């Protein structure tokens, strides 16, 4: 039986007739009251991903994105009336506070409506959602199958306790259901793109008004002046195999990495490009370039089809350093215009402590140089102020970041102050050293999302 299939053709036929409604809501990533808007090429991928199986089986799914729907509250109130459930997702930062505020209003208006939360912040801190009563369940980790199983349980009137991959509130405490195994991305159908009003995002990309667009990446150098920006974003993989102590991915994904094969990825994106006519793609993967063969197959498939769009993604420095020269050539020829790299620490000792283990002497400059020589822009991120980090270590990071900026002038060097992220080794270490984490949604919402909160974090 195909992944996500339900038994019984009559059941599917019944759903098709009844058209049970599912409402999905994405809170603001940045606070509009501060005149800030997240870059509008950041599509609501987290919602489209979990909509895949319900949409396939005939449910009436609606996506409401506060970034492009100014009337999102009115939409939600209308759509939630009689709905099967409301699903929402967030990451650390303003999205936490805004999502909680909206969820409270929905709960007050529709007290019996099941509310399901997912995303990495609820996954690592489910207790606050369950204790505060704005979630009936929190999905843990990969959400596609978990959410689909929740939908089926709600439809059939069965207990959520029997659905794997959930955090629930029972007897005044959090309880976890059975583990839900990670599933390969290629086993899911592509996103239900008909749910996306892409032109709304294109409008905001090109007409931001007075709002500052944060987390917006540089446009391709090769894009002719005056060209309308039509930016698309895409998830091609889940997870990351790296053990970094400052990142929550090891806990949330178990260091698993599941990716759509290169040729299939190209086929899906080429179909999307024919439909939406976008000219840039922003991969939202945590680590796009893990497998050199996959990267090569993707690039070659784009080249074979005329490379109709530019694209950017996150790669590891050690990945680019180990790639063959021919593989790097494929990046350029397929119109990869920007690679985001994480250096994160400028001394060998700090590299080892955060489990990044980049060969700073031999591989950092090699990786940046390979991309620089091919006219591929790079963005290199650094962090200072780790728990227990010495002043000398922080200065070492700043000096190395400045040196790389000097050697490769078009390579952005963005230096971030350390932020204690729940669900990470360094969060636990920070708490041991006296850090007092927030205890409310509003306080978590005030935790900086640097790329959304700062105007300039890069070296000049």
3-state per-residue secondary structure call for 57-89: CCCEEEEEECCCCCCHHHHHHHHHCCCCEEEEE
Tell me 340's DSSP state: E
Pair 148, 135: CB distance under 8 Å: no
Indicate whether 200 belongs to any domain.
no
Q: Is residue 387 part of a domain?
A: yes
Residue entry with tokens 């985001």: 340
Same domain, 134 and 64: yes
pLDDT at site 223 = 95
Check if the beta carbon of residue 424 is closer than 8 Å to that of residue 246. yes
Q: Whole-angstrom Cα distance, residue 119 to residue 141?
A: 7
Q: How many CB atoms lie within 10 A of CB 218?
A: 12
How buried is 446 (Cβ within 10 angstroms: 0-12 exposed, 13-18 middle, 19+ buried)? middle
CA atoms within 13 A on the CB side of 96: 24
Q: How many C-beta atoms lie closer than 10 Å to residue 432's C-beta?
A: 10
Q: Are 215 and 38 in contact (CB under 8 A)?
A: yes
Is the pLDDT score of 325 beyond 70? yes
Q: How far apart are CA 412 and CA 381, in angstroms?
A: 8
Percent above pLDDT 90 for the chain:
86
Contacting residues for 91 by C-beta, under 8 A, at least 6 apart: 29, 119, 120, 121, 449
The 10s digit of each residue's pLDDT in 396-411 is 999 999 999 999 998 8
- The DSSP 8-state label assigned to residue 174 in this structure reads E
**What CATH number has the domain bearing residue 162?**
3.40.50.280
CA atoms of 153 and 233, how far apart (whole Å):
31
Residue 196 to residue 205: CA distance in whole angstroms = 15
Residue 392 domain flag: yes
Report if residue 428 sits inside a domain.
no
**What domain range is 358 assigned to?**
226-418
Q: What percent of the chain has pLDDT over 70?
A: 93
Lowest mean pLDDT segment, chosen from 64-68, 95-99, 253-257, 258-262: 253-257
Domain CATH code at residue 308: 3.20.20.70
What is the C-alpha separation between 342 and 401, in angstroms, rounded?
A: 11
Alpha-carbon torsion (401, 240, 143, 120), positive or negative: negative
Q: Are residues 253 and 133 in the same domain?
A: no
**Residues, the chain, total?**
460
User: Do 339 and 405 sit in the same domain of this protein?
Assistant: yes
Q: Do the beta carbons of residue 212 and residue 36 sit within 8 Å?
A: yes
Q: In this predicted structure, what is the pLDDT of residue 453? A: 53
Alpha-carbon span 296 to 263, nearest angstrom:
9
Residues 230, 371, single domain; the answer is yes
Asked if the structure places residue 425 within a domain, the reply is no
Same domain, 151 and 259: no
Please give the pLDDT value at position 17.
47
Residues 275 and 141 in one domain: no
Please check whether residues 137 and 240 belong to one and the same domain: no
Is 99 a member of any domain?
yes
**Statement: residue 460 has pLDDT above 70:** no
Kindly state whether residue 189 falls inside one of the protein's structural domains.
no
Are residue 85 and residue 151 in the same domain, yes or no? yes
Of 115, 143, 176, the one marking the end of a domain is 176
Per DSSP bridges, beta strands 166-170 and 137-139 are antiparallel
| Mean pLDDT value across the chain | 93
| Domain end marker among 140, 161, 176 | 176
- pLDDT at residue 18 tops 80: no
Among candidates 198, 202, 213, 118, which has minimal Cα distance to 166?
118
> Would you state the structure tokens that stand for residue 268, as one six-digit string?
């899906």
Distance between CA atoms of 342 and 286, rounded to whole angstroms? 11
Based on the structure, what is the number of domains in the chain?
Answer: 2
How far apart, in whole angstroms, are the C-alpha atoms of residue 281 and residue 157? 41
Instruction: Tell me the pLDDT band of 56, cut-offs 50, 70 and 90.
Output: very high
What is the pLDDT confidence band of residue 439, given thresholds at 50, 70 and 90?
A: very high
Q: Which residues pair with 379 in a beta bridge?
A: 340, 412
Q: Which two tokens stand for residue 94?
A: 């303003």
Instruction: Report the pLDDT value the prediction gives residue 456, as an integer from 0 to 100.
Output: 54
Is the predicted pLDDT of residue 44 greater than 70, yes or no? yes
| pTM metric for this prediction | 0.92
Mean pLDDT on 355-380: 96
Do residue 157 and residue 269 come from a single domain?
Answer: no
Task: Give the C-alpha separation, 376 to 320, whole Å.
Answer: 12
Q: Indicate the pLDDT class of residue 457, thresholds 50, 70 and 90.
A: low
The answer to whether residues 263 and 390 belong to one domain is yes
Q: Does residue 353 share a domain with residue 237? A: yes
Do both 400 and 280 map to the same domain?
Answer: yes
Band (pLDDT 50/70/90 cuts) for residue 8 is: very low
pLDDT on residue 410:
85
Torsional class of 10: left (φ above 0), alpha (ψ -120 to 50), beta (otherwise) = alpha
- 206, part of any domain: no
Integer Cα distance of 451 and 89 in angstroms: 19
Q: Which of 2-16, 18-32, 364-378 has the lowest mean pLDDT?
A: 2-16
Q: How far apart are CA 273 and CA 199, in angstroms?
A: 13
């Amino acid at each position: 039986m195909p992944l996500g299939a339900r038994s019984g053709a009559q059941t599917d036929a019944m759903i098709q007739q009844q058209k049970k409604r599912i409402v999905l809501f994405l809170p603001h990533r940045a606070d509009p009251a501060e005149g800030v808007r997240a870059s509008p090429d950041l599509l609501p991928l987290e919602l489209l991903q979990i909509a895949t199986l319900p949409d396939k089986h005939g449910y009436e799914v609606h996506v409401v994105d506060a970034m492009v729907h100014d009337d999102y509250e009115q939409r939600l109130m209308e759509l939630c009336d009689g709905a099967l459930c409301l699903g929402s997702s967030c990451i650390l930062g303003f999205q936490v506070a805004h999502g909680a505020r909206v969820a409270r209003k929905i709960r007050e208006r529709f007290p019996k409506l099941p509310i399901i939360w997912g995303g990495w912040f609820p996954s690592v801190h489910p207790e606050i959602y369950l204790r505060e009563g704005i979630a009936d369940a929190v999905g843990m980790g990969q959400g596609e199958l978990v959410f689909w199983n929740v939908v089926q349980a709600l439809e059939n009137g069965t207990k959520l306790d029997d659905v794997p991959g959930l955090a629930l509130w029972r007897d005044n405490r959090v309880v976890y259901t059975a583990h839900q195994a990670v599933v390969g991305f290629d086993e899911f159908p592509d996103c239900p793109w008909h749910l996306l009003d892409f032109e709304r995002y294109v409008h905001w990309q090109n007409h931001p008004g007075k709002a500052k667009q944060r987390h917006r990446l540089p446009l391709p150098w090769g894009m002719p002046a005056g060209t309308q920006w039509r930016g698309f974003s895409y998830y091609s993989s889940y997870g990351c195999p790296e053990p970094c102590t400052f990142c929550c991915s090891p806990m949330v994904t178990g260091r698993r990495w599941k990716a759509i094969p290169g040729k299939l990825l190209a086929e899906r994106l080429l179909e999307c490009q024919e439909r939406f006519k976008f000219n840039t793609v922003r991969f939202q993967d945590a680590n796009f370039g893990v497998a050199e063969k996959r990267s090569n197959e993707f690039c070659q498939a784009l080249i074979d089809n005329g490379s109709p769009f530019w694209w950017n993604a996150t790669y590891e420095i050690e990945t680019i350093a180990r790639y063959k020269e021919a593989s790097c050539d494929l990046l350029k020829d397929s119109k990869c215009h920007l690679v985001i790299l994480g250096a994160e620490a400028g001394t060998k000792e700090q590299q080892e402590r955060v489990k990044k283990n980049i060969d700073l002497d031999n591989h950092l400059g090699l990786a940046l140089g390979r991309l620089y020589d091919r006219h591929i822009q790079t963005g290199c991120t650094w962090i200072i102020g780790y728990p227990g980090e010495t002043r000398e270590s922080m200065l070492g990071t700043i000096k190395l970041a400045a040196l790389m900026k000097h050697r490769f002038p078009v390579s952005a060097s963005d230096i971030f102050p350390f932020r204690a992220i729940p669900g990470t080794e360094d969060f636990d270490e920070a708490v041991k050293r006296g850090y007092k984490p927030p205890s409310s949604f509003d306080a978590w919402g005030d935790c900086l999302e640097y790329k959304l909160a700062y105007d300039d974090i890069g070296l000049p």
